[in-house]
């Protein structure tokens, strides 16, 4: 009888402990179907020609810079013990003369963002958050110190960041309250590890398309890799 009482007390204290030992991986690839003409160059500054990097397609059609993330309307998913603490604790965002690096960035709500500049031009960072407080900030030329920012609220989708001084600069940030988010690589591939077992909703989003997948139901099994295969994007959708 005492053992049963102790067991019930343990379950009430740790209601997710039954599931916390079950984790899996989800992976896949985003590929463009059809021919996409390279977008025109944005600007020429001195000897530098600034390309439009909103569309980056690999040799085999893989689409880079797609945000892939687990979405929950309420609450947050169980987080694997290895991922409880963010690594790194501070994420870097470099404002260059011809590009933001990285262009697409994922930041956890328990991470900090170091915004700084590298180059001969000053920058006027402007954010367009939906839930966090949006702001404008002046970053001087070649300012390695820059600023440290925190964003305590998860955003439902990636939001744009621009440069009010250098209007050809643009990027997208995604704030999450969990570690189950990534950006596709130059081959269009993605992999998210240590996802809690169960059925989850994933979203795939790209700046030119919007939602590629908005309610993608994925079943994660313990110690297994769930391969979503190739997710197709029509070339015409990238022209929007």
Torsion of CA 230, 196, 72, 213, to 10 degrees: 0
**Total Cβ atoms within 10 A of residue 153:** 12
Fold type of domain 87-178: Immunoglobulin-like (2.60.40)
Using the 8-state DSSP alphabet, how is residue 38 labeled? P
* Among candidate residues 33, 26, 31, 71, the one with its CA nearest the CA of residue 228: 26
Can you tell me whether residue 237 is helix, strand or coil?
helix
Superfamily classification of domain 23-83+179-240: Immunoglobulins (2.60.40.10)
On the question of a common fold for 23-83+179-240 and 87-178, the answer reads yes
Per-residue pLDDT of the chain (240 residues; tens, 9 = 90+): 444 444 434 444 443 444 457 999 999 999 999 999 888 888 777 777 888 999 999 999 999 999 999 999 888 899 999 999 999 999 999 999 999 999 999 999 999 999 999 999 999 999 999 999 999 999 999 999 999 999 999 999 999 999 999 999 999 999 999 999 999 999 999 999 999 999 999 999 999 999 999 999 999 999 999 999 999 999 999 986
pLDDT score of 4: 43
């Amino acid at each position: 009888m005492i053992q049963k009482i102790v067991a019930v007390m343990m379950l009430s204290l740790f209601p997710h402990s039954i599931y916390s030992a079950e984790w899996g991986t989800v992976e896949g690839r985003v590929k463009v179907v059809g021919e996409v003409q390279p977008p025109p160059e944005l600007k020429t500054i001195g000897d530098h020609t600034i390309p439009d990097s909103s569309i980056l397609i690999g040799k085999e059609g893989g689409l880079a810079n797609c945000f892939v993330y687990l979405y929950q309307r309420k609450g947050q998913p169980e987080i694997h013990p290895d991922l409880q603490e963010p690594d790194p604790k501070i994420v870097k965002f470099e404002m260059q003369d011809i590009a933001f690096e990285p262009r697409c960035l994922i930041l956890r709500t328990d991470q900090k963002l170091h915004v700084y500049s590298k180059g001969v031009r000053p920058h006027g960072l402007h954010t367009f958050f939906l839930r966090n407080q949006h702001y404008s900030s002046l970053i001087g030329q070649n300012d390695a110190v820059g600023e440290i920012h925190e964003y305590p609220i998860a955003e439902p989708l990636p939001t744009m960041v621009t440069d009010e001084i250098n209007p050809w600069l643009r990027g997208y940030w995604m704030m999450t309250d969990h570690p189950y988010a990534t950006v596709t690589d130059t081959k269009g591939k993605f992999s998210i590890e240590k996802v809690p077992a169960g059925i989850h909703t994933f979203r795939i989003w790209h700046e030119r398309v919007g939602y590629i997948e908005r309610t993608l139901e994925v079943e994660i099994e313990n110690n297994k890799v769930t391969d979503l295969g190739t997710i197709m994007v029509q070339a015409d959708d990238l022209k929007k």
